[in-house]
Structures are given as C-alpha cells and as structure tokens.
Amino acid sequence: MKSQLMVFAISAILFASIGTSPAFGQIQNTIVVTTDKTSYSEGEVIMVTGEVRDLYSGTPVSVIVKAPNGNLVSIAQVTVGADKKFSTEITAGGSLMRAEGSYTITVQYGSVNRSDTTSFEFGGSTVVTPPKDTGKVTEKTVTVEGSTDLIGYTITGAKLLGIMPDFEAKSLIVSIDATNDGSITMTIPRSVLDATMNGADEEFFVLVDGEEVDFDEIKTSTDRTLTISFPAGSEEIEIIGTFVVPEFGTIAAMILAVAIISIIAVSARSRLSIIPRY
C-alpha cells in the first residue's frame, strides 16, 4: 500500500512539473534582444534582433542605444511582426557614437516591466565628418536642407549657427555658439520634423551635447514650438522625432517614379490612338 502511494505521489509531481514547463522554444522573459556580433568598427551595420513573449497589437518596441558615459546615442520605434519578432539596423559611428567602449542597447515593449538589455563594443570613430549644409540663418528664421518651409526662432545667450537634418536618425542638428546660459525657442513645421505614432503625437527626444534634457512645447496642427535651455559652452542640440524632411535622393527617386509612370501612360494612350478603327 505504501509503495502504491509513493508511486502515485511521484507521478503527481512529475505531471505537475510537466504541466508547468514552458513549451519548447518559448522565451522565458517578456522580451529578449541580441546583436549579430559583440564588437563593431566604424561604418559597420549593427543588426539588432529580438522577440517578445506576448504580442500586443499596435505596440512598437523602443530601441534605445546609450554610450559608455550614459549619453543617449539613438532611439527608434520598431514594429513587432506577427511571429513576435523584431529587428532593426544601426550604423556604427556618427556624431553621437564616437567614443571607444561598451555601448548598451535597451529594448522596451510598452512597459518598463517588459524590457531587456544587451551590449556591444565599439572601436571608436576615426573618420572626420565633412561639414554639411546647415541652412541659411537670418535674425528670425533658418532654412533646412530639402525643405522650403522655414523654422522660426528666438535665442538668448548664444548665436544660432545653423540647422541640418540627420536623415538616418530622423532628427535635426542645431549648431549654436553658447557664450552664456540661455535658451532657444523654435517653431518647427511638421513638414520639416515631427514625432507621431499611429496618427497620434509622440514626444521628441532632445539632447544638448549628447545629454538628454527637458523642454517645453506648444503644438498646433501645422507646427510644433519647442523651448530648450542650454548651459554656456553648448555646441549642439539634437531633436529626434519619427520623421524628418526627406533626403534629396528620396525625393529624386519619387520624381523619377512619377515620370516613368507618366511616360508609360502616355505611350499606352498613343498606341491606342493609332490603332485603326473599322
């Protein structure tokens, strides 16, 4: 009798442990992230891939990269596929990824409780980036490459040197010469820079010399006005959104596509017009 009870107890324990074991291949954490390599050199592509345990429709994954000193390097919103997997690419180097050392990637899926981190080594930047078109600056407005819409501004404690788009980061780089503590207020048309997700406004990320800072904002249907404070000695303000004015190459490709379609349409119409009618 005792042996039968022992066999029954062991069977019950085994059944319970099997019943509570996860299915083969199912991830244990709410989200996981990895990179294709552990170290990268200037210009290499960093492949970031991951998987979520539970799928939340319409919720993107935030991918945040930070430098060895904790400064924000980049942030992106990545769509999760029906297979619960996500991926994105980051090019090693650039204006915010210069220092040699260990960089951290943090992914968050809608909640701080659903997050994971990984890291990679970067050998440091050796390439000097040539100067770009920073736009024409007047006392009240500044132009931005690729757009005819002007950014209005007022500034104290510094001089505005120019603004240029970073097409890869979907951001605007604001160059200043800050002789004192001050602030800049910019009225940015949504056609130049915006931050939206599923048709709703999202917050910008603002960095002053690589450090994330708070800012004030006023929104309208056509533009977004930001007021950003900065300390003396500041040189660069980056405003990161989800859309920046398209690069010329993108516009040229669109124009070419429209031209090709028009030529095909005209050719087809011409062929039809010369077919004899009986």
Q: Identify the CATH number of the domain in which residue 156 sits.
A: 2.60.40
| 236 and 149 within one domain | yes
- Structurally, the chain folds into a number of domains equal to 2
Q: Compute the average pLDDT of residues 105-116.
A: 92
| pLDDT score of 241 | 93
Q: Compute the average pLDDT of residues 64-82.
A: 91
Q: Is residue 19 part of a domain?
A: no
Confidence of residue 20 (pLDDT cuts 50, 70, 90): very low
| 200 and 153 within one domain | yes
| 240 and 169 within one domain | yes
| Residue 250 pLDDT greater than 50, yes or no | no
Confidence of residue 269 (pLDDT cuts 50, 70, 90): low
| 155 and 113 within one domain | no
List, for residues 176-193, the tens digit of each pLDDT value.
999 999 999 999 999 999
Alpha carbon of residue 83 to chain centroid = 22
Q: Compute the average pLDDT of residues 16-20.
A: 44
| 151 and 242 within one domain | yes
Alpha carbon of residue 124 to chain centroid = 21
Does the pTM exceed 0.85? no
* E strands, the chain, in order: 31-35, 39-40, 45-52, 61-66, 72-78, 85-91, 101-108, 115-122, 141-142, 151-166, 171-189, 193-194, 196-197, 200-201, 205-208, 211-212, 216-219, 223-230, 236-240, 243-244
| Residue 235 pLDDT greater than 50, yes or no | yes
List, for residues 139-171, the tens digit of each pLDDT value.
999 999 889 999 999 999 999 999 999 988 899
Q: Is residue 130 part of a domain?
A: no
Q: Is residue 261 part of a domain?
A: no
Q: Compute the average pLDDT of residues 44-52.
A: 96
What residues make up the domain containing 158?
141-248
| pLDDT score of 151 | 96
Q: Is residue 260 part of a domain?
A: no
| 116 and 49 within one domain | yes
Nearest to 154 by CA among 173, 141, 145, 135: 141
| 148 and 105 within one domain | no
| pLDDT score of 277 | 56
Q: Is residue 1 part of a domain?
A: no
Phi then psi dihedrals of residue 9, to 5 deg: -65, -45
